[in-house]
């Protein structure tokens, strides 16, 4: 599992200011500070996820968050620090869905649940998905160590679950890693290529009917192909 305070390749991103508890002196001031900081993070994620790191200016983020550029630098000491904090924050959400993969015993249920969770993530956090995608496309300059370390470990672990299903003849033989890639690609596609999907179908995952149709189409393809 990923620790709460995952740190990206030794980069110092100050997290000190988050830890203070609300019963201590200065709590109220701290709270507004943190609230505003969090608001900026959300706004910045939205901008970064569309234009990328270099395509985004601090002025753009500031004006989206309705503050001055100078003021933005008061909350985050540099553009890079802001970007790193965002990446750090979304990484945990990113990994959450796969966690519950081994507790469930029946492959059909486990796969159905996982597919649905991933698709919900594409629906509810499309910007995080796109930022992650941008980072990977650019060669994962920041997340490379994470991919080779933490992520690889989780995949190795979950692969064993799938292999157990195969040896118990609960599902047909398939490379477990390929199966995971298959689920990732089909579900994330609806966030990352949202514009293309909307251009062709006129809908996206925010449409409830479209979400359910997509979910069961992916579930059916994978499960009918495997069980």
Partner DNA sequence: GTCTATATATAGATAGAC
Partner DNA sequence: GTCTATCTATATATAGAC
Q: Which of 82, 9, 91, 2 is nearest to 48 (CA)?
A: 82
Name which of its own copies, DNA, none residue 39 binds, using a CB cut-off of 5 to 8 Å depending on partner kind.
none
- 51 binds its own copies per the rule CB under 8 A: yes
Cα–Cα distance between 227 and 225 in angstroms, integer?
Answer: 6
For its own copies, which is the closer residue by CB, 75 or 86? 86
Work out which of 2, 8, 33, 161 binds DNA, going by CB under 7 A.
33
- 37 binds its own copies per the rule CB under 8 A: no
Name which of DNA, its own copies, none residue 221 binds, using a CB cut-off of 5 to 8 Å depending on partner kind.
its own copies
- 78 binds DNA per the rule CB under 7 A: yes
- 68 binds DNA per the rule CB under 7 A: yes
Q: Which residues contact 226 (CB under 8 A, 6 or more apart)?
A: 107, 111, 171, 172, 174, 179
Work out which of 19, 22, 23, 32 binds DNA, going by CB under 7 A.
32
Closest distance between its own copies and the C-beta of residue 78, in Å? 17
Could you identify the residue written with the tokens 């192909």?
225
As a dihedral over the C-alpha atoms of residue 107, residue 112, residue 117, residue 120, rounded to 10 degrees, the angle is: 170
Residue 99 per-residue DSSP state = G
**Residue 12: exposure state from Cβ atoms within 10 A (0-12, 13-18, ≥19):** exposed
| Residues at the interface with DNA (CB under 7 A) | 29, 32-33, 36, 56-59, 67-71, 73-74, 77-80
| Residues at the interface with its own copies (CB under 8 A) | 49-55, 130, 133-134, 136-140, 144, 147-148, 151-152, 155, 172, 174-175, 177-179, 181-182, 184-186, 188-190, 192-193, 195-197, 199-201, 213-214, 217-218, 220-222, 224-226
């Amino acid at each position: 599992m990923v620790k709460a305070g995952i740190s990206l390749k030794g980069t110092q991103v100050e997290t000190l200011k988050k830890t203070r508890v609300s019963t201590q002196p200065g709590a109220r001031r701290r709270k507004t500070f943190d609230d505003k900081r969090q608001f900026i993070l959300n706004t910045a994620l939205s901008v970064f996820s569309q234009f990328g790191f270099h395509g985004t200016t601090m002025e753009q983020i500031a004006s989206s968050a309705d503050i001055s550029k100078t003021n933005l630098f008061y909350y985050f000491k540099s553009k890079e620090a802001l970007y790193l904090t965002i990446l750090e924050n979304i990484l945990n959400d990113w990994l959450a869905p796969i966690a519950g993969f081994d507790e469930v015993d029946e492959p059909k249920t486990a796969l159905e649940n996982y597919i649905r969770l991933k698709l919900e993530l594409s629906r509810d956090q499309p910007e995080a998905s796109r930022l992650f995608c941008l980072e990977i496309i650019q060669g994962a300059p920041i997340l490379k160590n994470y991919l080779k370390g933490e992520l690889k470990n989780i995949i190795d672990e979950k692969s064993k679950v799938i292999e157990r299903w195969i040896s118990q003849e609960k599902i047909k033989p398939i490379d477990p890693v390929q199966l995971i890639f298959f689920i990732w690609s089909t579900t994330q596609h609806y966030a990352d290529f949202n514009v293309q999907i909307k251009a062709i179908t006129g809908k996206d995952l925010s449409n409830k009917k479209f979400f359910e149709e997509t979910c069961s189409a992916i579930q059916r393809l994978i499960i009918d192909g495997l069980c």
